[in-house]
Structures are given as structure tokens and as C-alpha cells.
Structure 1
Amino acid sequence: MMQVVATKMKFSILSSGVLALIATLIIWSSYFVALRSGAQSSLTSFDMALLRFIFPAILLSPVLYRSRGKIYQLKKRYLLGIMVGAGLPFYLLSVIASGNVQAVIGSLLVPGVAPVFVTVLAVCFYRERLAKRRVAGLGTVLLGISLLMAENYSAQSSSALFGSLLYLLAAACWAVYTVSVKLAKLSSLEIAALLNISAATGLLVVAPLGVFETNLKVVAWQQILPQLVVMGIFCGLVAVITYGHAINKLGAEMSACWGAMTPVLVAILAFVILKESLQITTIAAMLLITVGGVCANFKLK
């Protein structure tokens, strides 16, 4: 009887993790399309960052206050990994990159490549064994990245190559965030509060300096509202909570693995909403990166 109950509880935990991960993938797909759309609007990078972080920060401030003791006791490298890995540095890298390349490129070079960096961190810092399956998966992903970078380079577009490199840096940040979340053992709400409030604080500190340009006063609300809803509410609040829950229930590597499915969803949304078509080489790179990411991190029980 007890064994049946334990089995049901385990299944329930896994189910909640899977559902949270599915919700996260849908929001991530919208994220890259919204990034590209925002980059093509009159909004500046600073404007988009404000819309992304301010609202969730205000909403989650009581959570941070209640958990301040617990958060203060954590190792500082985990806190830094969360704040940098998915906070303001990660977002600014993504925003600047999105103005130079298609939405699907971003989805390939962030959730698609992040599993590679997660595996590298696990092997280098936590002495996990690198199985042959992982070697094959990593090699496949690197082949896909090389194909994608070669396409951008052969197009003789310095901006496309620059955008791709920024997205690779963002992928490294996201991998650090994924591992930090797993090791910090904070709740999903605490993670969301920490990264949103730290990013919002940074924005408010630099705002009076006039370093960054802003067009919020002159941009039509039709451009502002979608960014606020997708970025501020879904990405800034809902996805942080669902991804944190997925990591805690399924593990960092499994969560990053299924994040590699994002490019397929982004390609569909970008085609429908932004009218972006895909080159043959981009499709080939998508297949290589997705299959390689799954192969490198998926564990057979």
C-alpha cells in the first residue's frame, strides 16, 4: 500500500514538473518573438528592460522581504549566478542581439545551446562523468552552431555575426542561472523576486544618469502593451516560477534538455507573426542543435 502511495506521489511530482516545463517552453517561444518585435519598434533596449522587470519587481517585493534572511545566508556565487544569468545582463544581451538576427536564431543560440554549457559546468565543476552519449550530443550541437555561424559569416553581415555572438553569451549566462537555481534551492517565487528586483534596482540606479535613451513617452501604447504583457507578466513572473519549479522537480539538465525544443515553436510563431522565413541551412542547424541538446542531456532510466 505504501509503495503504491509513494509511486503516485512521485508521478504527481514529475507531472507537475512536466506541466511547468511545457508552460515555460510556450512562454519562451513568445519571448523571442516579442524580443524581435520590440527591436523592430520605436522602443529602446532600456525601455524594453523597464517593461520586463519593473512590474514583476513591484509585485514580488513582499516575497523578497519575507525571505531576506534565507537569501542572505546563501552562497554569494549562487545569488550572483541567478541575478546575472537571467537578470539584467542576460536580458540586455538578448535585446541587443535580437535587433541583428531573426527570432529563430535567438531561440537556437539560447535554450538550444544552453544544455551544452550546463553539461560543461556539470563536468568541469561538479565532476560528472561525460558519457559517450553526451560527447555525441555535444558534438552534434557544436556542428549546428558552426553551420549557423558560417551562414551568418558568409552573408557578409557583421551585424548578424555580432548578434549571434551576443546570443551565445546569453546562452552561457542562462546555463549559469540554471545550475545556480538548482543549487540555491530557493522557491520559484523567491527566485523570481531576487532576479526581478535586482534588475529593476539596477535600472532605477542608472535611469537618472541619462546614459540610456528612452522613448516611452512618445511610443504608442499598442507597442508598449504587448511587451508589458509578454515580457513583464509572462516572462518576468510566470516563466521564472514555472522554470524554477521544473528545475526543482525534474533537474537542471532535463529542464535544459527540453528547452532545446524551443526553436521549433519559435520558427512557427516567427513565420506566422513576423513573416520570417527560414533558410535551408538554418533548418539544418535547428535539427542538429535540437537533437544534439536532447542527446547530450536526456537520461534513460
Structure 2
Amino acid sequence: MSETSALRATSATESRLVGVTSALATVFIWAGWLIATRYAMTSNFTAVDIGLLRFVVPFVLLAPIWLKKGIWPKGLSIANGLLMLIGSGAFYTLMVASALQFVPASHVGILLPGVMAVWAVLIAVVMFGERPGKVRLGGYAAVIVGVLSLVALKPAGAISSEMLLGYGLVSAGAFMWACYTHAMRQSGLGALEAAAFVGFWSFVIMAVIALFTGTTLADAPVGDVMMLLTAQGLLAGCVAVITYGLAVRHIGSTGASAFGAMTPALTALGGVVLLGEQGNLALVLAVVLVILGVMVASGVFRKMKI
């Protein structure tokens, strides 16, 4: 092997390592965000508290971007901007946080990416005329079976009306994120630009809501507030945006999606180990089916570059 070939091979290996490491970091952050939110919603925090902590960090840290690009970036349509704000900003956070008041993090970690994938393809079919092939449809079918197994395999009487409400809120949140995904692709914004745009307006929205609802942050334990600031604002709001971007750049969007499909397993594990949530056969089956379904539907097995 020539010196040039050796250098290229080394560079490719290093690039792949950066991509895999970044993808793993992203998945752990996503799972940690759900676990931290479930912890907060079952203690003394409200959904408004979580929203404030979630967006104050990107509002401040990404200020150089929104100050430079403007609070409404040039060329961003009203429709795409509103869909991005509704789909991943304050309203999405309030929706998911409210769901986590009634549903374990392990369930939300399965439902959110699984139902989002189904919503995303339905939107693509209806709005953009996309026609997924039989293999992808099989993947979506596996996701649906996995999600339904969470309910179908539970003992009679184990599903309360509050839990059903939580499932409905998660499904609505998944629809919102699917809308954000399509709007983001059409917006022309980079990852950090989108994070700065959503972070600015979402913090403003949460601050206005807090004026009417009040907040319990002043009375909350300092340790819990710092933990949520780190997990919600710094890691989920800023770091994950960068690490996911690095993952896509170094191992491709398909490779990044393959790691993203691990989120249900990590969230379920964290919910059981850290929060004492119940683990059972239905949970394991749902995790396996949703992970496989998302990977098949995204084309990972056909195009994975890792």
C-alpha cells in the first residue's frame, strides 16, 4: 500500500470513528432527555418549567446565530417557520412533557420514534406523492405491531384512562415532529441555524406562557434544576444538534438513522434501571419490533455505510 493510500485509509477510519462516536452521543442524549423529563414530570416540576429550562440555554448560547441571521431568517417561509416552531419547539415540548406525566419514559421512548416514522411516511404519501416500496412498508408494519403490543399485551385493567391520554399526547407529539422534519428539509436552514431559530422563539413563547401560568422553578431543588438545564438545554438543545450533524457528515444520514433507532432500547433500559419502571415481555417485544421496523423503513440494511 502506498503512503497516499495508507493516509486515505487512516483518514477514512478516523472519519468513521468520529461519525460513530457522534451518533452514539446523540442517541444517549435523546434517551437522557426523555428520562430526565419523566423524572421532572413525576416530581415537582411542571411542563412549563421544563419548557423554560429546555430553551433558555439555546436562546443564550446560540444568540450569535439568531442575532446575525435575524429572529426570522431570510428566505424562511411563514408556513415552514411555523411548522418548525410547532413541531419541535415550545408546543412539542409541552406535549411530550405532559405525556410523560402519565406514561413511563420506556413507553414514550418506543412510541415517539416509532409513531413519528409512520406519520412521516403518511405525510410524504399524502403531501408529496411518495410511494414507499414493499420492504419499507414491511418496516412500518413492524413499527405499528410493536407500538400496539405495548397495549395489547398488558393485563386486563392495566391500561388506565390517564395512560391512554398519555399515549394520545405522544402520538400528537410524534405527528408534530414529523411535520417539523419535512418543514426543516424544505427550509434551507442548517442544523445550528434551525436550532437558533427554534430556540429563540420557543423561549419567548414559554416565557409568555409562564407569565400566565406561573412557574415552580424558584422553589425547586437547585440540583434538580441544574440537572435539567444540562440534560434539557445544553445537551438536547445544543450538543445533540452538533453531534447529529457530525454523524450525518461522517457516516451518512442512513448510518446516523441506524444509530438513532437505538433510542427506544436505551430509553427503556434507562427507565427500568434509573426510574424503576416495570420491564416485561411486551416492552422487550415493542423495542425489538420498533428498532427493526425503523431501520428497515429507513433503508439502513440496503445502504448502511458503517
Bin for the TM-score computed over the shorter chain: 0.7 to 0.9
1:167 equivalent among 162, 166, 170: 170
> For the structure 1 residues 8 and 195, does the alpha-carbon distance in structure 2 shift closer, same or farther, using more than 3 Å as the test?
farther
Deviations 1:18-47 (A, max 9, x none): 443322111001011101110111111111
Are 1:278 and 2:283 an aligned pair? no
> By how many angstroms is 1:9 displaced?
8.6
2:87 equivalent among 85, 88, 91: 85
Are 1:268 and 2:243 an aligned pair? no
**Could you tell me which residue of structure 2 aligns to residue 129 of structure 1?**
131
**Could you tell me which residue of structure 2 aligns to residue 43 of structure 1?**
45
2:184 equivalent among 178, 181, 186: 181
> By how many angstroms is 1:199 displaced?
0.4
> By how many angstroms is 1:166 displaced?
0.8
Q: Take 1:245 and 1:226, find their aligned partners in 2: how far apart are those partners? A: 25
Decide whether the 8 Å contact of 1:182 with 1:247 is kept in 2.
no
**Could you tell me which residue of structure 1 aligns to residue 296 of structure 2?**
295
Deviations 1:196-225 (A, max 9, x none): 1110011122333x2x24211211112211
> By how many angstroms is 1:154 displaced?
4.5
Are 1:144 and 2:135 an aligned pair? no
> For the structure 1 residues 188 and 223, does the alpha-carbon distance in structure 2 shift closer, same or farther, using more than 3 Å as the test?
same
- Between stretches 281-290 and 255-264, larger displacement belongs to 255-264
Gapped runs of 5+ residues in structure 1?
A: none
Deviations 1:123-169 (A, max 9, x none): 33333331110111111111112222335685241111111111111
Decide whether the 8 Å contact of 1:134 with 1:296 is kept in 2.
yes
> For the structure 1 residues 90 and 248, does the alpha-carbon distance in structure 2 shift closer, same or farther, using more than 3 Å as the test?
farther
- Partner SS for 2:44: coil
Which letter maps to 1:21? Answer: A
> For the structure 1 residues 145 and 154, does the alpha-carbon distance in structure 2 shift closer, same or farther, using more than 3 Å as the test?
farther
Number of equivalent positions: 298
Decide whether the 8 Å contact of 1:178 with 1:252 is kept in 2.
no
> By how many angstroms is 1:243 displaced?
3.2
User: Cα RMSD (Å) of the superposition?
Assistant: 2.8
Q: Take 1:220 and 1:39, find their aligned partners in 2: how far apart are those partners? A: 14
**Length-normalised TM-score, structure 2:** 0.86
> For the structure 1 residues 14 and 161, does the alpha-carbon distance in structure 2 shift closer, same or farther, using more than 3 Å as the test?
same
- Partner SS for 2:131: coil
Decide whether the 8 Å contact of 2:106 with 2:270 is kept in 1.
no
- Partner SS for 2:217: coil
**Could you tell me which residue of structure 2 aligns to residue 75 of structure 1?**
77
> By how many angstroms is 1:59 displaced?
1.8
Percent identity at matched positions? 30
> By how many angstroms is 1:276 displaced?
1.8
Decide whether the 8 Å contact of 2:151 with 2:159 is kept in 1.
no
- Partner SS for 2:52: helix
Q: Take 2:256 and 2:163, find their aligned partners in 1: how far apart are those partners? A: 28
Decide whether the 8 Å contact of 2:106 with 2:272 is kept in 1.
no
> For the structure 1 residues 270 and 213, does the alpha-carbon distance in structure 2 shift closer, same or farther, using more than 3 Å as the test?
same
> For the structure 1 residues 274 and 55, does the alpha-carbon distance in structure 2 shift closer, same or farther, using more than 3 Å as the test?
same
Decide whether the 8 Å contact of 2:106 with 2:269 is kept in 1.
no
Decide whether the 8 Å contact of 1:36 with 1:99 is kept in 2.
yes
> For the structure 1 residues 176 and 19, does the alpha-carbon distance in structure 2 shift closer, same or farther, using more than 3 Å as the test?
farther
**Length-normalised TM-score, structure 1:** 0.87
**Could you tell me which residue of structure 2 aligns to residue 202 of structure 1?**
205
Decide whether the 8 Å contact of 1:113 with 1:141 is kept in 2.
yes
> For the structure 1 residues 232 and 257, does the alpha-carbon distance in structure 2 shift closer, same or farther, using more than 3 Å as the test?
same
- Partner SS for 1:140: helix
Q: Take 1:129 and 1:157, find their aligned partners in 2: how far apart are those partners? A: 37
> By how many angstroms is 1:72 displaced?
2.5
Which letter maps to 2:177? Answer: W
- Partner SS for 1:42: coil
> By how many angstroms is 1:176 displaced?
2.0
Decide whether the 8 Å contact of 2:56 with 2:203 is kept in 1.
yes
Decide whether the 8 Å contact of 2:107 with 2:268 is kept in 1.
no
